[in-house]
Amino acid sequence: QVFTFNRVEIRVQPSAKVKNGAPLSIICHADISKNTDFQLKHNFTIFKDGKLVFMTVSDKEDARYEIPVAKSSDTGDYECTVKADGKLSFSNSVYVWVAGMTKPILTADKKEVLEGEVVKLRCELPEEAPPLEFFFRKIKTNSAPKEKRVPEQNQNFSEVEYYVEEGDNILQFDCFGKRQVRSGWESSQHSNKTLVTVKEPFIKPTLITRPSRNVTEGDQIEFECSTVVAQMRDIEIILQKNRTILNSVRDKKFLKYSAVATQEDSGEYLCKVEQGAVSKTTKLNVFVSELFPKPTLSASMTKLDESKDLILSCSINGFRRANFSIVRKSSSGDILLKNSRVLAMKVNVNDTGSYTCKAEVKGIVKESKPVRINVYAPVSKPTLSVVSGSPEVVLGKPLQLVCHSVMGTPPITFTFYKGDEVKKNVTNDTYAMFLDEDIGLNDNGGYKCDARNNHSSGVKTSNILNVTVIVPIRDASLGSVPYGEVEVGSDTAFLCSVKEGSWPIDFKFFKKTDHEVLLHEVREYSDRTIWHKKTMKRKDTGTYYCMASNRASVDVRSHPITISVILAAWQKGVIAAFVLTAIAGAVAVALWWFLCKKKK
Domain layout of the chain by residue ranges? 3-99, 105-199, 206-286, 296-376, 383-448, 474-566
> For residue 595, how far is the Cα from the chain centroid?
118
**Quick one: pLDDT at residue 124?**
95
Span 20-41, pLDDT tens digits: 889 999 999 999 998 888 888 9
**What is the arithmetic mean of pLDDT over 411-439?**
87
Which CATH code is given to the segment(s) 105-199?
2.60.40.10
pLDDT value of residue 169: 76
Superfamily in which the 3-99 domain is placed by CATH: Immunoglobulins (2.60.40.10)
Say how far apart CA 78 and CA 43 lie, in whole Å: 17
Give the number of other Cβ atoms within 10 Å of residue 188's Cβ.
23
| CATH superfamily for domain 296-376 | Immunoglobulins (2.60.40.10)
List pLDDT tens digits, range 278-323.
888 999 999 998 888 899 999 999 999 999 999 999 998 877 788 9
* pTM score: 0.48
In sequence order, what are the residues at sequence separation of 6 or more whose Cβ sits closer than 8 angstroms to the Cβ of residue 198?
Answer: 112, 113, 114, 115, 164, 168, 169, 170, 171
Residues whose CB falls within 8 Å of the CB of residue 264, separated by 6 or more in sequence, listed in order: 288
| Average pLDDT of the chain to the nearest whole number | 88
Q: How confident is the model at residue 443 (pLDDT cuts 50, 70, 90)?
A: low
Strand order in the sheet with 244-250: 214-216, 278-289, 267-275, 235-241, 244-250
572: pLDDT strictly greater than 70: no
CA 229, distance to chain mean position in Å, is 51
417: nearest Cα among 431, 405, 434, 429: 434
Rounded-to-integer distance, Cα 248 and Cα 474, Å: 90
Q: Give the pLDDT of residue 570.
A: 58
Q: Which CATH architecture has domain 206-286?
A: Sandwich (2.60)
pLDDT at 263: 83
pLDDT in tens, 222-243: 999 998 887 777 889 999 998 8
Comparing CA positions, the residue from 460, 436, 437, 435 lying closest to residue 449 is 460
| Percent of the chain residues topping a pLDDT of 70 | 97
Same CATH fold assignment for domains 206-286 and 296-376: yes
- Distances from the Cα of 334 to the Cα of 341, 353, 356, 366, angstroms: 17, 12, 9, 14
Assigned CATH for 474-566:
2.60.40.10
